[in-house]
Amino acid sequence: MLTCCRLGASYGRAEVLRGIDLTVEPGQVSVVLGANGAGKTTLLRALSGMIPVSGAIRFAGEDVTRLTAPAMTRRGMAHVPQGRGTFSEFTVHENLLLGAATRRRRRAEVAEDLDRMYATFPPLLERREQTASTLSGGEQQMLAVCRALMSRPRLLLLDEPSLGLAPQVTAKLFETLGGLNRDLGMALLVVEQNAALALEIAHYAVVLETGRIVLEGEADVVARDDGLRAAYLGGGG
Amino acid sequence: MLFLQQITDGVATGAIYASIGLALVLIFRSTGIANFAQGEMAMFSTFVAWQLIAWGLPVPVAALVAVAFAFVVGAATERFVVRPAEGGSHLNTVILTFGLYLVFNEFAALIWHSTPLSFPTLAPERVWSVGGWRMTSSMVVMVGALVVESLAVYLLLRRTTLGLWMRASAANPESSALVGIDVKRMLMLGWGLAGVFGAIAGILIAPRVFLEPNMMSGILLYAFAAVILGGLDSVLGAVVGGVLIGVIENLVGTYVTVIGPDLKVVVPLVVIVLVLMLRPAGLFGAVERVRV
């Protein structure tokens, strides 16, 4: 579904990513782990067309290396950025409508999807006319995910969805994300600090260190790796 | 009666300030810069209308063509002048708009010379008077145009999907790009609309002030005072601010004898200084909140 080859990215002179080879299979959850500053966020931004890259990216059989973010969204990749990227002074409903920006000509379909979102996440319906900034952290993250779903993506990129959320809220969020994958077959690429939780729903895992992949494999194999356990899962156990 | 007359005249000229103010606000909201060339762009479009009238087009048709021309010039300015400077500091872009000011001003002088030209009203002028109070058809048109413009902006921004995208692009360009909105196109559209509002103001005020390359420089100053008073990011603020400035200007010019009609140009300057000192966000502007 998504493949990148020798992917590199820099901010000015600083090379943040180099030589990344990564494949996300259809219907799979892939998780990117790594310390702060390892380049996880940059990797997502590079894949979704937000920054210029070197190397090559293919998505759904097409070379998308030079495409911009709106073009990637139109092709079925949705990106929930770090900090959620909700439109904070816009209402919940407006946020969801904005999520469907690529589907302007399909009003009936969009209306159906809106109904489904509200049915699945009743708190959003209750706060339909409130601005996003009045929502709790968990509700905002839910809104960000729903907004991304409104573009009917085939691949959903999530950057640290658990950031700033209470543990129970995070657990519920990952349940929802796992459900999206199980029930709808949606492919996910998740950057996450909470490695244990992310590995639970992941099929494949990649560990980044200073801009390169140092470890990758099936999620359960990576989860048993001693180095990883020491670094991210709280001690060698 | 003199008092009522001053108010009426003030509302009419205030409508012109508000129209230019709407243009300034549209651009400030989306790009975060003050477009100092807005008045000159309006003046240039008014010259285009004058030229078309001189070539024999009916006045309303010429005005419509000039307004369409203003849209194209506005959008092209964003695309070819402002966009290449993107990513640099805002100051660069503001200085660029000063450059544009000179370009439009000099080109107008080059093509049409600097002799003031008379410019016709859209329709033959009619005057109504009751007692000592006078009202002209062009005053009605000025206020009417402002009402239509404000309603159009309100409906566009608040009631249409396109307007939602424009607001989103202004508020959060990065997230807008991520949901698939062509943010650059929204900016171009904003600049084009600003050009339209400017041109309308220029065409409506030209019959009163005579058409010449420096026609808008004073008016732009009043428009800036209007948007600073109303709040640089508020559409409603531009409208209310414009009308208030028009009225205050007239009242001060008439009743404050120290100032009088000759010195009333200090009015907008005093308003700018006072507002920036006492309430920098203006009457309707969003007060910037610092998040911790």
Residues B224-275: tens digit of each pLDDT: 999 999 999 899 999 999 999 999 999 998 888 887 777 888 889 999 999 9
- Helix B183-209 and helix B161-171, axial crossing angle in degrees, nearest 10: 100
Q: Is B257 on the interface with A (CB under 8 A)?
A: no
**Residue B290: pLDDT above 60?**
no
Name the nearest CA neighbour of A142 among A193, A84, A82.
Answer: A84
Q: Cβ contact (<8 Å) for A87 and B161? A: no
For residue A78, what is the enclosing H or E element? strand A77-80
pLDDT tens digits along B67-107: 999 999 999 999 999 999 887 888 899 999 999 999 999 99
d(CA B11, CA B241): 11
Q: What is the ipTM of this complex?
A: 0.89
Look at residue B182 and give its three-state secondary structure.
Answer: coil
Whether residue B284 is contained in a domain is answered as no
CA distance A195 to A226: 14
The answer to whether A184 and A30 are in contact (CB under 8 A) is: no
Cβ pair B41, B195 in contact under 8 A: yes
Centroid of chain to Cα B46: 13
Predicted local distance difference test score (pLDDT) of residue A37: 85
Which of the 8 DSSP states describes residue B117? B
User: Helix H segments across chain B?
Assistant: 2-31, 38-54, 59-77, 90-112, 137-159, 161-171, 173-178, 183-209, 217-230, 235-255, 266-278
What is the spatial distance between Cα A145 and Cα A13, in angstroms, rounded to a whole number?
33
pLDDT digits (tens, 9 = 90+) for B165-199: 999 999 999 999 999 999 999 999 999 999 999 99
Structure tokens at B219: 């008016």
**Interchain CB distance below 8 Å, A151 and B180:** yes
In a domain, B72, yes or no: yes
Is B172 contained in some domain?
yes
Position B10 in a domain:
yes
pLDDT of B289:
58
Between helix A137-149 and helix A92-99 the angle, nearest 10°, is 30
- Nearest-Å Rg of the Cα atoms of chain B is 19
Residue B192 CA: distances (Å) to CA of A156, B24, B78, B211: 35, 12, 8, 23
Q: What tokens were used for B132?
A: 């000592």
Walking along chain A (237 residues) 10 residues at a time, the average pLDDT comes out as: 93 89 94 90 94 94 94 95 91 96 88 93 94 93 94 94 90 92 93 89 92 90 80 55
- Residue A235: per-residue pLDDT: 46
* Residue B191: CATH number of its domain: 1.10.3470
Judge: A102–B177 Cβ closer than 8 Å, yes or no. Answer: no
Task: Provide the pLDDT confidence category of residue B277 given band limits of 50, 70 and 90.
Answer: very high
> Which domain range does residue B203 map to?
2-278
In contact, B207 and B215? CB cutoff 8 Å: no
pLDDT tens-digit series, residues A203-221? 999 999 899 999 999 998 8
Min Cα separation A85/chain B (Å):
6
Is the pLDDT assigned to residue B288 strictly greater than 70?
no
Q: Any chain A CB within 8 A of the CB of B178?
A: yes
In a domain, B154, yes or no: yes
Q: Indicate the helix (H) or strand (E) that contains A123.
A: helix A122-126
Q: Are A99 and A114 in contact (CB under 8 A)?
A: no
Mean pLDDT computed over B9-38: 94
Distance CA B247, CA B241 (A): 10
Cα–Cα dist B195/B78, whole Å: 11
Q: Does residue B286 fall inside a structural domain?
A: no
Neighbours of B34 (CB within 10 A): 18
Q: What is the pLDDT at residue B257?
A: 81
β-pairing, A2-11 vs A155-159, is unpaired
Q: How far away is chain B from the Cα of A79, in angstroms, using its nearest Cα?
A: 6
The answer to whether residue B292 is domain-embedded is no
Interchain pair A101, B174: CB under 8 A: no
DSSP string over A1-69: -EEEEEEEEEETTEEEEEEEEEEE-TT-EEEEEE-TTSSHHHHHHHHTTSS--EEEEEETTEE-TT--H
Domains held by chain B: number? 1
Chain B residues near residue A94 by CB distance under 8 angstroms = 164, 168
Q: Tell me whether residues B164 and A94 touch, CB distance under 8 A.
A: yes
Minimal Cα–Cα distance from A45 to chain B, Å? Answer: 10
Please give the Cα distance from B55 to A177 (Å, whole number).
67
B127 in a structural domain: yes
